[in-house]
Structure 1
Amino acid sequence: MPSIRDRNLQLILTAASEEFAHHGFAAARVDAIANRAGLPRANVFYYFRNKQQLHSAVLDLVMEPLLRAARSLAPEAQPQQALPRYFKAKAEVARRHPHATRVWLKEMLHGGRRLPDERSEALRQSARQNLACLAQWMEQGLIARTAPEHLLLFLWSTPLASFRFGEAPGSSARLKPTRASTQALANLFLRGVRPEIEAAKLIAI
């Protein structure tokens, strides 16, 4: 059974995720977060010093599992197994933390300005490792040669954005991170990076 502290933290982080997702950092209000959580405003400040710290905690809900997912891209792994694992792990993040995922995507679109320095460095280190992995797979002929940076951007954004924006109001997609939809994304990506499909052979659009 969760402790009172754990229960309150869960309520606050869930409420904060919704508030930041709907209103953004600047317009989000701690009073509204407390109301969503069903707790006094003082309780929010008992666990978090200010709105910035609370926002960072919401980002951590997504960042930690995303960093773990990125470790699937290892040079010793085979792309056919590693890439589906990566897509599946990222889709699970979107499923478990839908509102926090929206907050994360918005933050990344604005350059990660509110990320603490140590978090920014962790992301850069993860990106460097992933780029090295993709480059090695290309050298080994396991995937088609292209710009590793472009490939990583696609890998980073597609699983999260597809599922989150597929649920946006007015969207006809209504995508859900199911096993089938995750596998479909992974298969689409794998077909696009097959070694026999080189960029020079693609028809420019």
Structure 2
Amino acid sequence: MKTLLLPGLGADAAMYPSRDYSHLDQLVIAEWPAYKGEKSLTAVARRVIDEHAVGPEMVVGGASLGGMVALEIAKIAGNRTVLLIGSATSPSEVNPVLQKVSHLADYTPIRMVQALAGKINDHHGSELLAMFERADSHFVTAMCRAIFNWEGRADYRGAVCRIHGRKDKVILPPKDDGKLIADGGHLISMTHGPIVAAFVERCTANVA
């Protein structure tokens, strides 16, 4: 089953290392669309649908913000299955401390933080820092606000398959559904790639 996965906020396709996911021949790892002033997850979802010709027969999903946008895609395009990788079905699942910090998004010099991340990364060679340095600072700022104005899963009635790190401090682990990785944090698509890839393969195999 053709499956499209989105990265998290401040991340890109490198969030899904090819060594772990390249064997999934029906998997498309999408980049975020070039930012054009979108202020809601729904608006970003419509851009992804247009740029990747997302139809109802596909499975959509993503990590963190990517999973939330995937839920919006599924509502619009009629996809029957959504994969959430360390992601949320409601803003209430996001750490409340981050909600308070999000109000400062307009005043936070994201480009300065990115430049600092780049300098730090000169010595550490971190893919995570490299992704953040590459990210569009305007998109990051807009989505920090948009997450907490999102309606969540709402009336979506399709299947939601979840995998989450039990030690995730960014999006709190679900209590009643999904697969939990005992030693996983927020970046399980990178730190536990083989487990997440197996999850994707298993969930999509069951979609007719």
**Superposition TM-score tier, normalisation by shorter sequence:** under 0.3
Higher strand share: 2
Which structure has the highest helix share of the two?
1
TM, length-normalised to structure 1: 0.27
| Relative contact order higher in (CA < 8 Å, ≥ 6 apart) | 2
TM-score normalised by length of structure 2: 0.26
